[in-house]
Amino acid sequence: FDSDGVAGNKVADRVGRLAGTLQGSPRLEPGDPTPRLEFAGPADAVLVKDLVPADAAFLPKDALTLVAWVRIDEPTEWGGVVG
């Protein structure tokens, strides 16, 4: 994603066909070196697809890379960043 790809509650996919929908109240924040989405509560998220079967044609077949810079203010046991 990039900041130009955020419009309303939609987040465009810069590479593929998996655009997202913002849920809750995440904020687009300016940043250095790049802008970021800030998730401040448990309801904040980006929903990419809902209930996708594992064999969906648009999913990568060999590998998937996810990169995130994450700051956790209140860690919880078994708390997830992606899931």
pLDDT digit string, tens, across residues 33-80: 778 888 888 899 888 877 778 888 877 888 777 777 777 777 777 766
Measured between alpha carbons, how far is 61 from 10 in angstroms, rounded to an integer? 26
Mean pLDDT of 10-17: 82
Q: Which residues contact 78 (CB under 8 A, 6 or more apart)?
A: none
The values of phi and psi at residue 77, to 5°, are -60, 130
pLDDT: which is higher, 14 or 28:
28
- Whether 21 and 10 have beta carbons less than 8 Å apart is answered as yes
Q: Measured at the alpha carbon of residue 19, what is the angle toward residues 17 and 24, in degrees to the nearest 5?
A: 165
User: pLDDT at position 9, please?
Assistant: 92
